């Protein structure tokens, strides 16, 4: 077991027990699990019951929540926010400015050389 200082952090719904990940310094809720081999960047967050393992990288302002599983050499960055029951693994690369929920991509699994770039869409009603 790794010794870590547990404090609280507000992931958006009020403060919960959390710690800063030793590999990158990002915030991890005590209910989530992140392997020591994974990277959670200083502005990234892992909460809910999400699990990150292997050499996965969560960087920039990415937020991983729900029961999302990220493993292998997957990389989530930008302001990506997968949530729900999604699995991201192998060489997947998810980046951008949108939230992905569970079945939002069709089969809930992003694998092997998957690359997703999400851009926030702006609706202009002409007013």
- From CA 127, how far away is CA 21, in angstroms rounded? 46
pLDDT per residue as tens digits for the range 40-57: 999 999 999 999 999 999
Please report whether residue 126 resides in a domain: no
Residue 77 pairs with which residues in a beta bridge?
none
Please report whether residue 124 resides in a domain: no
Task: Give the range of the structural domain holding residue 50, as residue numbers without chain letter.
Answer: 7-118
For the chain, what's the residue count?
Answer: 127
> With 50 as the cut, is the pLDDT of residue 126 above it?
no
Please report whether residue 123 resides in a domain: no
pLDDT band at 110 (very low <50, low <70, confident <90, very high): very low
In this prediction, residues 25-39 reach a mean pLDDT of 97
pLDDT per residue as tens digits for the range 70-104: 888 888 888 877 777 766 755 555 655 444 444 33
Please report whether residue 81 resides in a domain: yes
One-character DSSP codes across 18-61: EEE-TTT--EEETTSEE-TTSEE-TT-EE-TT-EE-TT-EE-TT
Q: How many domains does the chain contain in total?
A: 1
């Amino acid at each position: 077991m790794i010794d870590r200082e547990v404090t609280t952090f507000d992931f958006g719904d009020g403060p919960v027990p959390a710690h800063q990940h030793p590999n990158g310094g990002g915030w991890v809720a005590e209910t989530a699990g992140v392997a020591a081999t994974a990277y959670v960047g200083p502005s990234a967050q892992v909460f809910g019951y999400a699990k990150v393992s292997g050499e996965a990288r969560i960087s920039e302002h990415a937020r991983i929540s729900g029961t999302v599983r990220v493993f292998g050499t997957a990389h989530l960055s930008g302001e990506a926010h997968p949530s729900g029951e999604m699995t991201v693994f192998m060489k997947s690369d998810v980046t951008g400015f949108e939230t992905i929920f569970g079945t939002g991509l069709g089969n809930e699994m992003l694998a092997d050389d998957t690359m997703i770039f999400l851009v926030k869409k702006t609706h202009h009603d002409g007013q």
